[in-house]
Amino acid sequence: MQIDQIRTFFIELQDNICDAIANEGKEHVISDDWKKDSKQTLAGNGRTRIIEKGNIIERGGVNFSDVKGMSLPSSATATRDELKGLPFRALGISLVFHPLNPYVPTVHMNLRFFCAGDIGEFTNQTIWWFGGGIDLTPYYLFEKDACHFHKECKKSLDNFSTSYYPKFKKACDEYFYLRHRNETRGIGGIFFDDFNELGFDRSFELVKRVGNSFLPAYLPIVQRRKRLEWGQREKKFQEYRRGRYVEFNLVYDRGTLFGLQSGGRIESILMSMPPVANWSYAFKPREGTPESKLYRHLKPFDWINFEKDSTA
């Protein structure tokens, strides 16, 4: 069955990523299998895998869920009236890693499959689509890392259409944007939603390519930066910038809103929050400091064609 293929892939991807990160930093990964019964608003099951106080990851998680409900919440139907009142099934994998070292960036990935209407059997009457993306949130900007990350994102899409990377990058820049701060959350990546234009098999293959690009995109950055020395100044700045992450997730993120509105599992929904964040009144880094470099790139930027030869 087609949905079973998606479920199998998401679970295997969860294991592959957790194993790779655990091996890289000798991290201890906690697994939490959970189930919501049919008496609740949302029924289904999943597995949350958490790393806390690790050697590389201060707090992170990779969550798999497979849930059903009688009607989609407003966050999912805001732009699609035809979905209102329909039963749905949603499968997804979501991850966020908040590293200990401020020179290692935070990373986020989400891949999901929704179907609505006839969810008992996957038929021509079933409304279905994929969504997701991957994005990077550095605290100290290294051009080499940003270029590498975007090139891996592009590589995962080019076999399907060379138009997808610029289209999905633009969507990512627009989605992960804090309007009240007039800045992007990080240096972007790719983002897509309501995607089914290639038919089921090819659309699913695209999602698999994006998912499998995570480790090649992120792990080399971790390996380059994890041994850089840092102190209280760098940690304080990291925690200040983590505040932006909290603001976005609680104010704008549709996935967080979907989970809360649909009666999802709170611990899994909020696993994306950093362990520590802070806010400073009217803070602005001094021009010319390592911290100020980040602020010059909190806007849409062409990392694929960035020509500076940076080995930093």
Task: Tell me the pLDDT tens digit for each residue of 25-35.
Answer: 999 999 999 99
| Lowest pLDDT segment from 67-71, 89-93, 119-123 | 119-123
- Side chain identity, residue 305: N
Q: Is residue 189 part of a domain?
A: yes
For residue 46, the cross-strand partners are: 34, 65
Residue 32 lies in a domain: yes
Tell me the backbone φ, ψ of residue 21, rounded to 5 degrees.
-70, -40
Alpha carbons 195 and 216: distance in angstroms, whole number: 24
pTM metric for this prediction? 0.92
Q: Catalytic pick from 108, 148, 150, 297?
A: 108
pLDDT reading at 192 higher than 90:
yes
Q: Is residue 170 part of a domain?
A: yes
Q: End-to-end alpha-carbon separation of the chain, Å?
A: 48
Q: How confident is the model at residue 249 (pLDDT cuts 50, 70, 90)?
A: very high
302 assigned to some structural domain:
no
Please give the pLDDT value at position 86: 81
Residue scoring higher pLDDT (44 or 122): 44
Q: Taking residues 276-305, report their average pLDDT.
A: 94
What mean pLDDT is predicted for residues 73-89?
70
Mean pLDDT for 219-235 is 98
pLDDT at 216 over 60: yes
Q: Is the dihedral of CA 45, 98, 113, 88 positive or negative?
A: positive
CA distances from 159 to 40, 77, 202, 282 (A): 42, 31, 11, 45
Domain count of the chain? 1
Q: Which residues have C-beta within 8 Å of that of residue 163, sequence separation ≥ 6?
A: none
Tell whether 311 is covered by a domain.
no
Look at residue 126 and tell me if it is in a domain. yes
In a domain, 197, yes or no: yes
Report the C-alpha gap between 290 and 260 in whole angstroms. 37
Return the CATH number at 251. 3.40.1500.10
How confident is the prediction for the chain on average, in pLDDT? Answer: 91
pLDDT confidence tier of residue 97, bands split at 50, 70 and 90 = very high
Distances (CA, A) of 226 to 34, 56, 102, 218, 297: 33, 7, 9, 12, 22
- Residue 254's pLDDT band, with cuts at 50, 70 and 90, is confident
Query: Is a pLDDT exceeding 60 seen at residue 58?
Result: yes
Contact (Cβ atoms closer than 8 angstroms) between residue 56 and residue 27: yes
CB 163 within 8 A of CB 111: no
Q: Is the pLDDT of residue 261 over 80?
A: no
Instruction: For residue 34, give its domain range.
Output: 2-295
CA distance 267 to 121: 31
pLDDT in the model for residue 75: 60
Which pLDDT value is given to residue 79? Answer: 62
For this structure, is 148 an active site residue? no
Q: Token pair for residue 175?
A: 């989605």
Task: Establish if 110 belongs to a structural domain.
Answer: yes
